Structure 1
Amino acid sequence: MSKLWNPSRQCLPGGSLFPQRVSLPAGLPRPPRLQPRLLSQQTRRGLLTLAIETSCDDTCVAILEKSKAGVARLHFNEKITSDNRAFRGVHPLTAVVSHTENLAPLIQKALRSLPKATRVESPQEDNNAKTLSVDGHPRLRPDFVSVTRGPGMTSNLATGLNHAKGLAVAWDVPLLAVNHMQAHALTPRLVRALEEQEADQTQDPTSEGTGDRKLQGPHFPFLSLLVSGGHTMLVRSQSLNDHAILANALNIAVGDMIDKCARMIVPQEILSAENSDSNSGMYGPMFEEFAFPGSKESARYEYNYTPPSCRADEIKIFDSGSGWILTPPLAHVGKSAASKYEFAGLNGQIQKLMTERPDMDVDMRRILARAAMTLVFQHLTSRLVFALQGDGEKSKNMASGTETEEQSRIKTVVLSGGVASNKFLRHVVRKMLDARGYADVEVVAPPVSLCTDNAAMIAWTGIEMYENGWRSDLNVLTLRKWPLDPNAEGGGILGAGGWYRIPKAK
């Protein structure tokens, strides 16, 4: 008896099933030529990436998908933070141990969130190479791997980069080793794409969509205030890889100063409380809640804040009326210091004050906490005002037949980085811009979960770079310092070695 066609009888390495060629007796109907392949439950036409972030003490992994219409879906986004309580700040060696211990299990967990693949029949190309077997089930393989290359702590970065290289090699996909600060600046574009997916559940997030949709706002150019425990900078984002630094910190970063102030001002019994944020090394949220009780849970907290209407009001000395004062940062320096942030001086004033008055009561400590945050956040916003004033003049001069003044003017200010999760900062920025004549400038900030270090922003940056044809060599090394500005030493993002470009698909 002749053997009939049986797809289960032949399987090539990798799992591809092929129809077997056989001779059939005359008169028997010829079976259809079926070529099973693995596809997503919804045919994917966009991009899928797994991303890793280990620049500091957070071990982060994400899986992000983006359609051609610009709609994003975050399948997985988790982090594990190293325990730095014994050091009252990030301890690099402790963070590396945490990355080494937690990264591989977190990746394994993330893979279970990859879009499912189901076996369907199609006469077209075999697609098994685009799938992975996870716990015995077919999942879609990422199109590329995204990872933070820098800036950050060298050993910490290396842990993530080496894992990413291994995945890229194992899956035979490209590597995108991206700039951490660029990712913070682009995060609001990710948020906008995620909001589109949530707002339009009826649209297939993997479909091509309607060609004219512009989902990746805010659109260039825009200003970014990148504020975290390690960075304080004002950036003019002209395009994906063109980010000019307009102002930078002279000494310590704003997040570092806030942490130091929290440890000095917040009473010890609150700092050491069992459920306090300090147990995870996060002093900023605790400091905000101490200064403004109830603000953490309130959507419409009344800050009773009156913004300075001019520069003279902004640099006035704060007088507590109780025998102590605080002088705002760079109060005696004019517009010549518009490119500088300075926090060590104010931090020193507070340290001296707390040394002289160790028995300061809770109410006075709360007044001090509010004053410190007010002066710091007004100092941050003052440089924004200088930049908007300069941009207005520049736009008038640059206006031409191809670019109008309206098109070249800054319309959006982005707050990003861990400190951007501070609701009082957002309140101060909005109120000060309104008071200085910039009520029409939009202020956007990511949700708290995307303000702090996370892998979702790395995934989005990888996608934007990938769409523009950029890829990273597998021999790239970590970069402890990696400037954003193309005019800075090293040539900015694209000035780092290891990039190559492929033609964009038409």
Structure 2
Amino acid sequence: MIVLGIESSCDETGIALYNSETGALLADQLYSQIELHAQYGGVVPELASRDHVRKIVPLIEQVCAEAVMTLQDIDAVAYTAGPGLIGALLVGACVGRSMAWALDIPSVEIHHMEGHLLAPLLADDKPEFPFLCLLVSGGHTLLVDVQGLGDYTILGDTLDDAAGEAFDKTAKMLGLPYPGGRYIAELAEHGDVTRFKFPRPMMNRPGLDFSFSGLKTFTRLTWEDNQDDDDIEQLKADIAACFQDAVVDTLTKKCLRAIKQTGHTSLVISGGVSANLQLRETLKKMGQKHHFKSYFPDLKYCTDNGAMIAIAGAMRLEQNIPEKETAIRAQPRWSLEQLSPP
């Protein structure tokens, strides 16, 4: 089955073609709106929606050309129906559902976070169900007990800012470009991680929930209290290193707590923050010590992309071909626990 995947939940337009019979990704195109939104320091929803309208059809044409296929060769369409920005979601939903009608093929609505959760299955070294998953991005920080496709239990959630959001806001505070995660990580390489003692939020409490707003406030106060420093650039690097270390330490220790609680021996880490190299190395070392294995998507599939939607759609369609519908839906708020197996 050749599945076309469409991702348009926020500020990336991702299109991919996936062959479920061979497990091969046939073509993959991604357009990022980072330059469009950078001047505003964050995503402007209306601009994002308009840019998806401009890019989505040309990208579909590009993946077909890359795979040497026509639209008639596509067997099904999978598109992100939520969560995300309502206008951006509707662009992908309208195009995906309309293509399915026109081609008389099935279409399937995909949960954006389920796509991220399954993204490591695109790699050669794939996890098997069941496993524990850390979904960590600009909008979400979740620990999920994954028993199978569509069988998810949220063990921990963020009570305020997501980890990726905290990275972006800290970067803006330090005068770094948007999005901030990459720039914080690069700056942290030149910083002294021992200069400041940053808190590890909610580590002294039982449970698996997260909170990053207090850490963000501590970072701001540290920055403001040290403005008379003779070397401002080194101060920025030291704050970046201490901030990143606090976030990574919090995430990894909560993962270990969840591993011990669930008994899983496989940990999947997905979402934009899963590209952070310190997070990857720390979890790999922790897994060696505590006898679990960590799985990550390839770096290019950590951020939003069409490939993860295509494989999620293929997995659902292999188990159940839905009846053709006329409704076009988008759910800006949609819990993973509302999903069910195909």
For 2:317, the equivalent position in structure 1 comes to 466
TM-score normalized by the length of structure 2 = 0.92
The match for 2:40 is: 87
How far is 1:79 from its partner? 2.4
Q: Give the letter aligned to residue 78 of structure 1.
A: L
Which entry has the higher C-alpha Rg, 1 or 2?
1
TM-score computed with the length of structure 1 as normaliser? 0.63
Match of 1:477 among 314, 329, 335: 329
Runs of 5+ in structure 1 lacking a partner? 1-46, 117-131, 133-138, 196-216, 272-277, 294-302, 305-317, 393-409, 486-491, 496-500, 502-506
CA contact (8 A) 1:223 1:236 kept: yes
**Cα deviation digits, residues 368-419 of structure 1 (max 9, x gap):** 2111111111111122111111123xxxxxxxxxxxxxxxxx2211111001
Query: 1:328 maps to what in 2?
Result: 200
Q: In 1, distance between residues paired with 2:315 and 2:228?
A: 53
Please tell me whether the aligned partners of residues 229 and 418 of structure 1 are also in contact (alpha carbons under 8 angstroms): yes
Preserved contact between residue 120 and residue 298 of structure 2 (Cα < 8 Å): no
For 2:5, the equivalent position in structure 1 comes to 51
Q: Please list the CA deviations of residues 9-64 of structure 1 after superposition, one character each: whole Å capped at 9, or x if unmatched.
A: xxxxxxxxxxxxxxxxxxxxxxxxxxxxxxxxxxxxxx101111010011111111
What is residue 152 of structure 1 aligned with on the other side?
Answer: 84
CA shift for structure 1 position 186: 0.8
Q: How does 1:129-148 map to 2 (within 5 A)?
A: 132=70, 141-148=73-80
Residue 258 of structure 2 corresponds to: 387
SS at match of 2:336: coil
For 1:249-260, list aligned pairs within 5 A: 249-260=158-169
Superposed CA deviations along residues 304-343 of structure 1, whole A, max 9, x for unmatched, are 9xxxxxxxxxxxxx963xxx54222124x332xx221010
The one-letter code matched in structure 1 to 2:293 is E
2 CA distance for matches of 1:148 and 1:75?
18
- Distance in 1 of aligned mates of 2:28 and 2:117: 21
In structure 2, how many angstroms separate the alpha carbons of the residues matched to 1:223 and 1:142? 33
Give 1:291-440 correspondences, 5 Å limit: 291-293=188-190, 320=195, 325-331=197-203, 333-335=204-206, 338-360=207-229, 361=231, 362-392=233-263, 410-434=264-288, 437-438=289-290, 440=291
CA contact (8 A) 2:274 2:302 kept: yes
Which amino acid counterpart does residue 6 of structure 2 have in structure 1? I
Deviation sequence 1:205-245 (CA, Å, 0-9, x none):
xxxxxxxxxxxx31111111111000100111100010111
User: Are the counterparts in 2 of residues 319 and 326 from structure 1 also a CA contact under 8 Å?
Assistant: no
Q: Helix, strand or coil for the counterpart of 1:236?
A: strand
2:298 to 447, 458, 467: 447
Answer with 340-349 or 284-293: which moved more.
284-293
Matching residue within 437, 442, 457 for 2:308: 457
Aligned match for 2:183, one of 286, 310, 314: 286
Question: For residue 100 of structure 1, what is the amino acid of its counterpart?
Answer: V
The answer on 1:64 being equivalent to 2:7 is no
- Map of 1:401 onto structure 2: none
Q: More helix by proportion, 1 or 2?
A: 2
Q: Distance in 2 between matches of 1:71 and 1:330?
A: 41
1:482 CA drift (Å): 1.3
SS in 1 for 2:66: coil
Q: 1:241 aligns with which of 150, 160, 168?
A: 150
Bigger shift: residues 234-243 or 364-373: 364-373
Classify the secondary structure of the residue corresponding to 1:223: strand
- Partner SS state of residue 108, structure 1: helix
Structure 1 SS opposite 2:183 = helix
CA distance in 1 between partners of 2:300 and 2:247 (Å): 23
> How big is the shift at 1:470?
4.1
Alignment partner of 1:189 out of 117, 121, 131: 121
* Amino acid corresponding to residue 329 of structure 1 in structure 2: P
**Distance in 2 separating the partners of 1:174 and 1:469:** 10
Q: Distance in 2 between matches of 1:104 and 1:157?
A: 15
Aligned length: 338
CA positional deviation for 1:140: 5.1
Equivalent residue number for residue 23 of structure 1: none
* Mapping for residues 209-224 of structure 1, pairs under 5 Å: 217-224=126-133
Alpha-carbon distance in 2 for matches of 1:483, 1:422: 25
Runs of 4+ aligned residues of structure 1 deviating over 4 Å after TM superposition are none
**Deviation for aligned residue 1:421:** 0.5
Code of the aligned partner of 2:275:
S
Task: Determine if contact 2:272/2:304 at 8 Å carries over to the other structure.
Answer: yes
Comparing both chains, which one has the higher relative contact order based on Cα–Cα distances under 8 Å and sequence gaps of 6 or more? 2
- In the alignment, the residues of structure 1 paired with residue 248 and residue 28 of structure 2 have an alpha-carbon distance, to the nearest angstrom, of 33
* Preserved contact between residue 15 and residue 28 of structure 2 (Cα < 8 Å): yes
Cα offset, 1:183, TM superposition: 0.8
Match in the other structure for 1:100: 53
2:332 aligned counterpart, secondary structure: coil
The 3-state SS of whatever aligns with 1:94 is: helix
Q: Distance in 1 between matches of 2:103 and 2:67?
A: 14
Picking from 74, 94, 104, the partner of 2:26 is: 74
SS of the residue 1:77 aligns to: strand
Displacement after TM superposition at 1:96 (Å): 0.8
Distance in 2 (alpha carbons) for counterparts of 1:148 and 1:420: 20
Counterpart amino acid of residue 464 in structure 1? M
Provide the C-alpha distance between the structure 2 equivalents of 1:101 and 1:172, rounded to a whole number of angstroms: 25
Could you say what the CA RMSD is over the residues aligned between the two structures, in angstroms? 2.2
Structure 2 spans left out of the alignment, 5+ residues: none
